[in-house]
Amino acid sequence: MGRDPAREVRMFGIGSTELLVILVIAVLVFGSNRLPEIGAGMGKAIRDFRKAASGGPEESSEPEPKRIDKSE
């Protein structure tokens, strides 16, 4: 019994076997400890790009500096 190619899930034109190979190579190159950091960084970059492309309000991840009132 062979697999039905129509039932294979494809994401971006890549099959499940190819995704598995890419994941294994990423683990070998970057190590399992660094993959969450890389994923979080990529997610933040995509989110920032979408905000910039949609023209949404700019929101900085850095807190605004405290202002000192010297009027006293």
Rounded to 5 degrees, what are φ and ψ at 14?
Answer: -115, 130
* 68 domain-assigned: no
* 71 domain-assigned: no
Residue 48 pLDDT: 93
Q: What percent of the chain has pLDDT over 70?
A: 62
Task: Tell me if the pTM is above 0.75.
Answer: no
* 28 domain-assigned: yes
Q: Which two tokens stand for residue 3?
A: 């697999």
> What separation in angstroms does the CA of 53 have from each of 6, 24, 35, 47, 48?
35, 33, 27, 10, 9
* 38 domain-assigned: yes
* 36 domain-assigned: yes
Number of domains in the chain: 1
Express each pLDDT in 25-50 by its tens digit: 998 998 888 988 988 999 999 999 99
Residue 61 pLDDT: 60
Give the range of the structural domain holding residue 44, as residue numbers without chain letter: 10-54
* 41 domain-assigned: yes
Residue 46 pLDDT: 93
* 25 domain-assigned: yes
* 69 domain-assigned: no
